[in-house]
Amino acid sequence: MESQIHKIHQQLVNKEISCTKLVQERLDLLKSNTHNTVNSLLDTLALELAAKVDAKIENGEEIGLLEGIPFGIKDVYMVQGTLTTASSDLLKQYKSPYTATAIQKLFDAGAIPLVKENCDSFGHGSSSENTIFGAVKNAINPELVSGGSSGGSAVNVAKDFTVFSIGGDTGGSVRQPAGYNKIYGLKPTYGRISRFGLMAYASSTDCVGPIAKSIEDIRIVLNVMSGKDIKDQTTYQSEKISQENILKSDEIKTIGYFKNFIENDAIDAQVKSDFLASIEKIKAKGIEVKELDFFESDTLVSTYYTLAMAETASNLSRLDGTNYGNRIEGDNLKDTYSITRSENFSEETKRRIVGGNQVLSQGFSDEIYLKGLNLRDQISENFEKDFKEVDIILSPVTPNSPPKIGDSLKDPLAMYLSDAYTVGFSLGQLPTITVPQGTETGLQITAAKNNDELVLKFANFLKDTI
């Protein structure tokens, strides 16, 4: 698909549409949608900003590429003065006192926020069913889940309710719903975009990620949000990625895939067959393909959830009703903490906090947590070795197709295993994009750290190849 951002920009400049009309049409679509994608609409703010864009155009002033472009925000980002619920009972009435750096950069570029989007509560889930706003329904088949945790953001893009959306990816939370809804979703290199103002789930893997219908729109939004931020010490200064550069993929000579992902009993036969067919099409273009050895997917999932749960327990310990959220009084302070957290957290969030506290508890931390850290180091070393042999690693996004709504809630282990092909790249902090080609839930393209440009190049190559 062509860039929606370029198309709308030209329509605004040529006065073929007004920004106010454009924003009102998208707000109407969001209001009437039955996919449960909306936590709150930012209609007053959006229409005020749209009127300012129209006034600039009317006065003959030049507008930037993102000015007047409507977008959505996963409801885990701070936007000053707006409700930021994390789809939870605990923060149902919480209003942000400030704006996240990544979102502020989009505001500064003139993009117009329409909606805070439904998601798994605190990002805890792989289906976008663990939410107080109702399970998000898949954009293609509403009987299926949208994927999680950025399900609302993915569906809004897939249904054209927003031009692009900003999700958050910890273990696959942008890439998996992008695959389930057949659009693009990028997890950039860890630290490329500031996490300041994104509610922390697992701080060592949390990433801000754009979701859109074209590679060009992903590139534009990525460039705007990237850069060093003094409020997030993990960030670094990065070069802008040019449109011209990502159209040339000549430098990509060799790709690899993990044979244990494909030879695994857990992979759906059709996903496996489609993936191998894609590999043959790539070979036919003269690119060398290598099979790579990697950790078993069970090991990746165990390592990821061990560390993610430990970080969750630590990050969410401050949410006790004292400084944040819906406080429920008990007989004493200890009871108040207990009741507030028990009544307001979802079952999935409580499961992760209990698991995390077990990992960190005295007598277990050496045996479990330090072992997890050691495995993460080994995974990173494995990636470094692989990227000396290949330019790109290609993989299915998920081993199976999207489940029906309700099935994941009955079987949390199956839900965790749906992340089997995404969590390893999160542990490696590598740039990875989902593209809507190759298998029912798309393909995943990964490059070495700081090579975000290369994943966009190969995404363009695949768009024209498969």
Catalytic residue list = 74, 149, 173
DSSP string, 400-443: SPPPBTTHHHH-HHHHHHTTTTTHHHHHTT--EEEES-SSTT-E
Show the beta-strand stretches assigned E in 326-426. Answer: 392-396
The answer to whether 344 and 90 have CB atoms below 8 angstroms apart is yes
How is residue 136 annotated by DSSP?
Answer: P
The SS3 of residue 42 is: coil
Place of tokens 């409580």: 350
Residues 92 and 85 sit within 8 Å (Cβ to Cβ): yes
Query: What is d(CA 174, CA 128) in angstroms, rounded to the nearest whole number?
Result: 11
Question: Which amino acid belongs to residue 45?
Answer: L
Number of CB atoms found within 10 A of residue 182's CB: 19
Dihedral Cα 175, 85, 162, 210, nearest 10 deg:
-30
CB atoms within 10 A of CB 310: 24
Radius of gyration in angstroms for the set of CA atoms belonging to the chain, rounded to a whole number: 21
Is residue 229 within 8 A of residue 101, CB to CB? The reply is yes
Q: Which two tokens stand for residue 408?
A: 């994941």
* 256, 260, 262, 265 alpha-carbon torsion, rounded to 10°: 180
Spatial distance between the Cα atoms of 445 and 397, rounded to a whole number of angstroms: 9
Measured distance CA(114)–CA(75) in Å, rounded: 12
